[in-house]
A and B are shown apart, each in its own frame.
Chain A
Amino acid sequence: MSTLTKSESGTAPKAGSAFLSVHDLQVRFRTEDGIVKAVNNLTFDLEKGKTLGIVGESGSGKSVSNLAVMGLHNPRNTTIEGSITLDGQDLLRASQKDLEKLRGNKMAMIFQDALAALSPYYTIGRQIAEPFMKHTGASKKEGRDRAIEMLRRVGIPQPQTRVDDFPHQFSGGMRQRAMIAMALVCDPELLIADEPTTALDVTVQAQIVDLLKDLQQESGTSIIFITHDLGVIREIADDVLVMYAGRAVERGTMREVLKSSQHPYGWGLLSSIPRINASVDIPLMPIPGTPPSLLNPPAGCAFNPRCAYRELVPGDKCETERPPLAPANGHLSACHLTDEQKQSILTEQILPRLSS
């Protein structure tokens, strides 16, 4: 099991004990309109061979926090605080050179839009071979052979000829596979998949998720899977982190978060999934309002302007005091509702709606 369950006491696990340990991460962007607090006090751990799903709306800080892990933010307008430790190495204090050696080698990333993330000017094979040649010192010939092997592994038919194709000659699903091949070419120990299935149709989505699961089983890679699709999370994640306005609002195992969510935002997410077996007269329940601006986030709980259960909390606590990420009925949740209130809302209002 992952350390998330071990740290149920609410205290953050000791840095360095897990394969990837993110502790109290803060990411700030300086923009012309002011400082954007993109990620605040984010803490999570990931063990070897496990998958962490990160869920949240657009702009909730999912991608930003993981780009920080990869060290891909522009240092000119970004400040990053806290600590990120990969296999005992402090990534925030590592030099650009050291990070270059890690990127694409020990840690790799898959991007959402494969067409945009692949350069249109170079062949698929060259783009896959590039990191392999850089990190292992392989020759052009070895790089090409490796690229063919990787394309075969991710299920591209006729890899010997497709290796010389350009990205625009691949279909959407194949491009995503090629991206995965590119990320996995050096057998990374950490793979960050940033919404890899969002732009794909459902069949291809399922294939990509299966592929990632297979590859994980083969090589024991740890995966961070960023998505806003809870269905995909159910397929792949061991642990789930729910983010809202740059903060973790819920954290637990996949089962805990999906079956017994302890946060109004989590309930909102669950209620807005279309279900194939739901009766037709029950409407989907979207979360009202829009995600908050991170330039000027709401005081107190960032979710309070959109929360349907605010009245249940005595006084104006929701507007003035930020709820800490604390254990509630089995896993971590950041909400002022009492454990009893959460449990009763979950069992009396949310679960019946989901199963009807």
Chain B
Amino acid sequence: MLRFLIRRALGAIVIILLLICLTYFAFFSLAVDPAQLACPPKSCTPELLAQIRSNMHLNLPIYQQFWNYLSGLFVGQDLGQLGHCAAPCFGYSYNSQRFVWDEISANYPATFVLAIGGAVVFLAIGVGLGMLSAWKQGTMLDRVASSISLIGQSTQIYFVGPLAMALFVYNLQWLGIPKYVPFTQDPVGCFTGMLLPWLVMSIIFWANYTRQVRSLMLEQLSEDHIRAARAKGMSNRYVWWRYALRGAMAPIITIFGIDLGSVFSGAIITEYTFSIQGLGFLAVKSVNNADLYLELGVLIFSSVAILLFNIVVDAAYALLDPRVRLA
């Protein structure tokens, strides 16, 4: 198990390095002059431009710039008058006048809470509806559960979000206006503030889980080992939870890992719908302002998040399925 994890981690490091390399060169050798972009258009003077160049070491050859950037990620970097950028240094965002890492670390907790909560909600609702469907297979309940999840998948967050806000916040006044409050500051406020975004974000994920869980459960229930377990005298409920669900879990975990990666790397639409200052928000802002360092930073950060979740899923998979453990 440890060797498996180490192997996966080493592989991930290689991928991350490649990724940084690729995005860096794509941004800085193909794109227009970064100094020009960083220079405020109205007050840009040749002196300022030169200063920006020297602060960001843009006078150096590109490979040296890349080396500076890469080493900066691990040991930090001196950016002239901008001061020392501590590791992990993703460079400087001229637009917000801050180091990129400060921007990211200010924004990712909101995304993190949104992603984790949303994932728990869509996993619970999706799997729940799927189990219900499988259990009451062929009945009205089965059809209702499948329809609900299908409707969820065909709607859009930017449609359901405002609708839910109008209903629950302004009309019924059950909830306050959704906002992110750090969990450590106010756990209850964090929960109530994020409840609506979680629910709305989860809607588009339901159908996938419902359908998968339903068919996986039905497939599992027709397996020989289910009949064998019942032949041993195990109760239906035991067989259902311990045998069938267990077998259905591994594929579900795989999809879950992929979805978790995607929500964590920034649920742009959800964040915009509910005005939550998260990574997705930051990503859009950086693109709008052509803030290259910020863009690059967000991109690398979210890729690393996806890779990490992939490793976690692989490890979970190995824990769940003993046949994978030795392979």
Contact = CB atoms under 8 A, between A and B. Distances in A.
Interface of A: 67, 70, 72, 96, 100-105, 108-109, 111, 113, 116-121, 130-131, 134-135, 166, 168, 179, 182-183
A108 B231 CA distance: 7
Given A111-B224, A113-B224, A182 B322 contact: no
Nearest to B247: A121
B327 to A, nearest CB: 10
Contacts of B229: 119, 130
Interface in B221-256: 223-225, 227-236, 243, 246-247
A168 B323 CA distance: 7
A134 B238 CA distance: 11
A249 B276 CA distance: 76
Contact of B233 (A102, A117, A179): A102
Interface string B249-271: 00000000000000000000000
Interface of B: 223-225, 227-236, 243, 246-247, 320-323
A121 B236 contact: no
B320 A116 contact: no
A125 to B, nearest CB: 13
Contacts of B231: 70, 72, 103-104, 108-109, 111, 183
A104 B234 CA distance: 8
A332 B231 CA distance: 32
A120 B322 contact: yes
Contacts of B236: 96
Contact of A118 (B225, B247, B323): B225
A72 B233 CA distance: 10
A3 B205 CA distance: 63
Given A121-B320, A121-B322, A134 B227 contact: no
A269 B56 CA distance: 89
Nearest to B229: A119
A192 to B, nearest CB: 9
Nearest to A117: B228
A104 B225 contact: no
A121 to B, nearest CB: 5
A70 to B, nearest CB: 6
Contacts of A183: 231
Given A104-B231, A117-B224, A183-B231, 11 more contacts: A100-B233, A100-B234, A103-B231, A103-B233, A111-B228, A117-B228, A120-B225, A120-B322, A121-B320, A134-B232, A134-B234
Nearest to A121: B246
Contact of B322 (A117, A134, A166, A179): A166
A121 B223 CA distance: 13
23 contacts: A72-B227, A100-B233, A102-B233, A104-B231, A104-B234, A105-B233, A111-B224, A113-B224, A116-B224, A116-B225, A117-B224, A117-B227, A117-B228, A118-B225, A119-B246, A121-B320, A130-B229, A131-B232, A131-B234, A134-B233, A135-B233, A168-B322, A183-B231
Could you say which of A100, A109, A121 has the most chain B C-beta atoms within 10 Å of its C-beta? Answer: A121
Given A103-B232, A104-B232, A121 B224 contact: no
B322 A130 contact: no
Contacts of B320: 121
Contacts of B246: 119, 121
A9 to B, nearest CB: 35
A121 B232 contact: no
